Structure 1
């Protein structure tokens, strides 16, 4: 009978983590105690964790020191806080410091204005802004001649020049859809206001444009005068009948569609002004007869064809109205601000040019080659092309420069736009403000301004996502019931499969 010796039970091995087992193996190879290796491994992990935390803190501190334009993105639908290229170009050329003083009580400031001022002043080292609480500094605005400045206003200061931006001017209202939808749009105009103010306080000599009156001329609208003022161009009316001549401070003279011809004396005043280096913009009325004024333009080799221009290419006229022309915009300093915009000229005449030795003429607006001239004008029986109609293309707006005195370098400049309907605000609205932008570009070029500062306001509204009750219930059940149940079933199936393996 054999006796089998009972195998002595081995003590249960202590369960160890993979990291501990690896440490023990390494320590065995090095001849070190396992406990010491585990300790060293844990210490190393702690040091690495501390280093990572320090690195994260340092990175956050460094990022926090960067300007917000690099660390914060404008997520508003219409880019309210984004700075446009026109403003960036102006600010890049700043050579003097400009300070914005925002008059607002602490805790009651507009967050949108504060955010925009932060973004704006980061575009140049010469810009900064401060908030002044009227309750703490009740007489602060008086030192800048702004006794009537109220809370929310912004005082822009550079040297001894200053300008006050009214808080109400930071917002404009678009009523273009009011009669169809019953609603209007609120627009943020902060960039336009600040950029214009910076231009104003950093420019010593501001041009003045005189609009002539007394011959049935059309007057500029409030919006058009505001646009010129925002370009820092002063506008003033002038009646030749009561004036001895064009004032010496005139940067340019504007004539808008006179219905009565100028007298020979009036024309001589204009001719004397131009011969000394003057600037003139004429918007003529195709329904008016102005032979004396036309004679002045003939000094520059410019005349008009009798009748009205009709466009034969549907791409260059308003839908259904082939005499509401959408001319091709030519490259010129006066048209540089018309990128992605149209100009519309209803009831326009064709301008013809003759070569003169001391005059250069540039086309600004031209028709397509499919355009034709209806000599009967307003008495035309049809707008369709007929035999005998002169074919285009035609100039509708031109800029002419005449050398008055070559030795002294004196030049005069004129712009002729063959339709005063350029000023019609309904026409302007139909092309998204293109007509006003063209007017601003023409006046700016004549008055010697470097660039147009007409920046579109940005809508504060955003598109609303409307969801019906049925759709809301469907998506709610899908995200709160269906998808979680699918995840649970998928998880259970994976777990059961793994256990069976």
Structure 2
């Protein structure tokens, strides 16, 4: 029996039909993908909404006047996945006002080096850089997390307690969009530490660079020459003066504080500012001592040794040091601070002890004469000792959570902890957070850190065997049988 021959017109029609069917299929697939791209439902399935942006951040992103460029330079950060996921949310809500660029020296070394030279940072750092016009701010990956040091095991890294990505990123965007950087003046003329000194151990060149990365401008100020503190001064820093200020300079500082100015005094055991009366008026008193303790060498070999670096281990529940809880802040050449207790002074209620030592430290009052300091009851000051304190003139006593714009003062019993010789990341974080608090950029912005919640999955051995059997045997065998069946069906 001869087969049925298909006419040429019919064969042509079948081919056209097949082509149209294929084109229609592609059109449907394209339309489904387009609709999925244009209209979709977003949901953060992480526990606690780790990547869900707050309404405050969304409002900031939608009100950006011009694009903000976010440069991600992460060489070996464990937070890269979390950072990338969070930045996708910023891009979603910010649209074309958020530009994200990833810099990888391994892929484009020339471009990475040019960026590092322009913005003056080390490519080995794990940083996210926010750039707006000519202003930029750096956020390191260490600033994005809080660690739970209380449960850290010996020799192991502490687990992450909270993720502060949104808090830090939104604060950085607001900082650069604000425009001109805050001017931080460092007093000179009395042997203070110099922000222009990058090579000598006692200089402040390194911390000056860190301040610039925070969209702040460190500047020198000689009050004997200027006669007054400039109107554009956001913060005045007095770091380790060796000679006391003159009466005219103290009057200028009093006028600055009366006008709701912001002052940071870093005064170690070898410092002498002459500001005792000014600080006492705000409830803060520097003690005439040196903070020391007795310790032992590892293994107890060699007997006792004098520890002359104060260790701050207790931190107040305060925006300036909240992120430091669980860490140890080392302060070389440190003196202690006491808080005034006169009931007649209304400022006393507005002072907070920020950092304290453990009980093992004491304030040695005769440290210049004693070759080997020892604690003398009734003469020396027993621990725990206050190493840093702040006065907040905007705090309303008895009205928790209510603040107004007012004078702010911070006193730290050491200036050496920021010197080129001793500077460490913990000290930098402490000082930068202190500056942000001074500038009333408490960083929180009403945005709370997101708690990290980890879950373990325990699967019994019998269930693991069942899953393995289904995945490795049952499913492949089923497809094999289906394939063989289709083969013989086509042969028939």
TM-score, normalization: structure 1? 0.55
- Per the TM alignment, residue 264 of structure 1 is displaced from its structure 2 partner at its CA by 0.7
2:408 alignment partner in structure 1: 413
* TM-aligned CA distance change 1:86 to 1:259, over 3 Å: farther
Determine the C-alpha separation between the residues in 1 that align with 2:69 and 2:406. 42
- Per the TM alignment, residue 167 of structure 1 is displaced from its structure 2 partner at its CA by 5.0
Structure 1 contact 69–122 (Cα < 8 Å) conserved: no
Structure 1 contact 255–281 (Cα < 8 Å) conserved: yes
Q: Which has the larger radius of gyration?
A: 1
RMSD: 4.8
Q: 1:201-216, aligned counterparts within 5 Å?
A: 201-204=176-179, 206-216=181-191
* TM-aligned CA distance change 1:332 to 1:241, over 3 Å: same
Find the partner of 1:256 among 219, 231, 239. Answer: 239
1:274 alignment partner in structure 2: 257
* TM-aligned CA distance change 1:69 to 1:197, over 3 Å: farther
Determine the C-alpha separation between the residues in 2 that align with 1:170 and 1:410. 33
Q: 1:146-295, aligned counterparts within 5 Å?
A: 152=111, 166-168=115-117, 172-173=121-122, 186-191=124-129, 193=138, 195=169, 198-204=173-179, 206-220=181-195, 221-290=204-273, 292-295=274-277
2:106 alignment partner in structure 1: none
- Per the TM alignment, residue 121 of structure 1 is displaced from its structure 2 partner at its CA by 4.4
Q: Could you list the per-position Cα deviations for residues 93-119 of structure 1 after superposition, in whole angstroms to 9, with x for gaps in the alignment? A: 52424535699xxxxxx999xx98897
* TM-aligned CA distance change 1:87 to 1:281, over 3 Å: farther
1:376 alignment partner in structure 2: 366
- Per the TM alignment, residue 417 of structure 1 is displaced from its structure 2 partner at its CA by 0.3
* TM-aligned CA distance change 1:380 to 1:278, over 3 Å: same
SS of corresponding position for 2:407? strand
SS of corresponding position for 1:248? coil
Q: Could you list the per-position Cα deviations for residues 351-391 of structure 1 after superposition, in whole angstroms to 9, with x for gaps in the alignment? A: 11113432121011111233222111233232343444331
SS of corresponding position for 2:285? strand
Structure 1 contact 254–281 (Cα < 8 Å) conserved: yes
2:94 alignment partner in structure 1: 126
Q: 1:455-494, aligned counterparts within 5 Å?
A: none
1:441 alignment partner in structure 2: 433
Aligned residues: 332
> For structure 1, which runs of at least 5 residues remain unmatched after alignment?
1-53, 72-83, 104-109, 133-150, 155-164, 174-184, 454-501
Q: Could you list the per-position Cα deviations for residues 384-424 of structure 1 after superposition, in whole angstroms to 9, with x for gaps in the alignment? A: 43444331222111001348999xx7732211101111212
Find the partner of 1:335 among 321, 345, 352. Answer: 321
Structure 1 contact 322–383 (Cα < 8 Å) conserved: no
- Per the TM alignment, residue 321 of structure 1 is displaced from its structure 2 partner at its CA by 5.1
Q: Could you list the per-position Cα deviations for residues 182-223 of structure 1 after superposition, in whole angstroms to 9, with x for gaps in the alignment? A: xxx823423564858633442256432211111111024343
SS of corresponding position for 2:219? strand
1:177 alignment partner in structure 2: none
TM-score, normalization: structure 2? 0.56
Find the partner of 2:308 among 310, 319, 323. Answer: 323
Determine the C-alpha separation between the residues in 1 that align with 2:278 and 2:55. 38
Structure 2 contact 68–173 (Cα < 8 Å) conserved: no
* TM-aligned CA distance change 1:222 to 1:88, over 3 Å: farther
